[in-house]
Amino acid sequence: MLKVLLAGLGVRGRHWAQVIERSERAELLAYVDPSADELARAAAEFGERPAFASVMAALDSLDDVGALVLANPPMGREGIVRAASARKLPMLIEKPLALSLAEAATILRIVENAGIPLMVGLNFRYLAVTQATKRLLARQTVGNPEFARFTYERWRDGRRPDLNDYPLTMAHPMLWEQTIHHFDLMRYVYGQEPLRLQCQTWNPSWSMYAGDSNVSALIDFDGGLRVNYQGTWQGNWAAPGFEWRTDCTDGIISQQDEFGALYYARRDDAELTAVPLPPHERWISETRALFAAFVAHVVDGAALQCSGRDHLMSLAMLEACIQSSASGGGAAIDEVLPEI
């Protein structure tokens, strides 16, 4: 059993508590959160366990920690990573690894110099719909992808008590908190890397976010694919809108819900064909699969998935978006990627 220290017990940390508890290969050893209220709530919901106000305090007291799952907000993680690296602890850290490419690169240097694995919490890769899309592309059901449109429209009320509120004041909340998943999915599903992009970010007049909640980007990938991306957290209808449509040489693939609803059609088909998907428990099923991959790496030596190094490329896409939007011109990915 992998003994896991869980740090950060907010919205995402509570998903993690359920996932670790339900794993047959791991044990939830102790909780960390600076908030006494969150520690008390976790004890009430998931059972009494040793509880600490910081990762450092936990590591000073516990000598049998096998891994750290870190679900605090993505600010100020460097000190925590240093302390865990000194203890040679494998880490699973929530996306985005940091709120700048430079800070993410520093974190990566720390773990790579210590020779320990760092996996990033890119749970959307593990959705059945994502895996099914990859299979459609691998089997060339509708041929090879040439262009795509990824649309994500959400009225995200950042003041809702069941959502985190730190994005209300951060710079570029849409990019760092949400678009990061979408860009990561593009790279993962298409198996292509971004070369350059053009982007504009802005806020509608009614936005409750201090930083930009709208992102519009045209992305060129190294296999010749072009993706048109539009994402918003302040779409002005509470019903969500989602479509990820890929136009391929013989037809299209269309995903119509963030968690499922996958279809394809050949050019002359009168209707879309639905792709059957297994039942899904939102935030839990795919996070269980992500966690299983982490445990398989740490315990069985399976290949590391969603590595910190791989994540840098998706973070570079965000940074390129910010530069492009500020300059009004395009941005090349290799010009923003740091040397590690």
Ligand X SMILES: NC(=O)c1ccc[n+]([C@@H]2O[C@H](COP(=O)([O-])OP(=O)(O)OC[C@H]3O[C@@H](n4cnc5c(N)ncnc54)[C@H](O)[C@@H]3O)[C@@H](O)[C@H]2O)c1
The CB-of-51 to ligand X minimum distance in angstroms stands at 11
Of the pair 121, 231, the CB lying nearest ligand X is at 121
- How far apart CA 185 and CA 179 sit, in angstroms, is 10
The strand pair at 241-248 and 251-257 is best described as antiparallel
Evaluate whether 166 touches 209 at the Cβ level (below 8 Å): no
Of the pair 52, 264, the CB lying nearest ligand X is at 52
Sign of the CA dihedral running 128, 131, 137, 138? negative
The answer to whether the bond into 194 is cis (omega within 30° of 0) is no
Q: Is 276 exposed, middle or buried (0-12, 13-18, 19+ CB in 10 A)?
A: exposed
User: Residue 328, by phi and psi: left (phi above 0), alpha (psi -120 to 50) or beta?
Assistant: left
Of the pair 96, 145, the CB lying nearest ligand X is at 96
The CB-of-325 to ligand X minimum distance in angstroms stands at 21
The CB-of-132 to ligand X minimum distance in angstroms stands at 19
Q: Torsions phi, psi of 117, nearest 5? A: -75, 145
Q: Which residue is nearest to ligand X (CB)?
A: 10
Of the pair 75, 302, the CB lying nearest ligand X is at 75
The CB-of-282 to ligand X minimum distance in angstroms stands at 10
Judged by the rule CB under 6 A, the positions of this chain that interact with ligand X are 7-13, 32-35, 38, 55, 71-74, 94-95, 121, 123, 164, 166, 177
The CB-of-86 to ligand X minimum distance in angstroms stands at 16
Of the pair 85, 123, the CB lying nearest ligand X is at 123
Of the pair 79, 204, the CB lying nearest ligand X is at 79
Taking alpha carbons only, the member of 258, 162, 171 closest to residue 213 is: 171
Structure-token pair, residue 28: 């939830």
The CB-of-3 to ligand X minimum distance in angstroms stands at 18
Evaluate whether 19 touches 287 at the Cβ level (below 8 Å): yes
Going by C-beta distance under 8 Å and a sequence separation of 6 or more, which residues neighbour residue 58? 5, 7, 30, 32, 50, 52, 65
Of the pair 123, 133, the CB lying nearest ligand X is at 123
Angle at 184 between CA 160 and CA 89, to 5 degrees: 85
The CB-of-201 to ligand X minimum distance in angstroms stands at 18
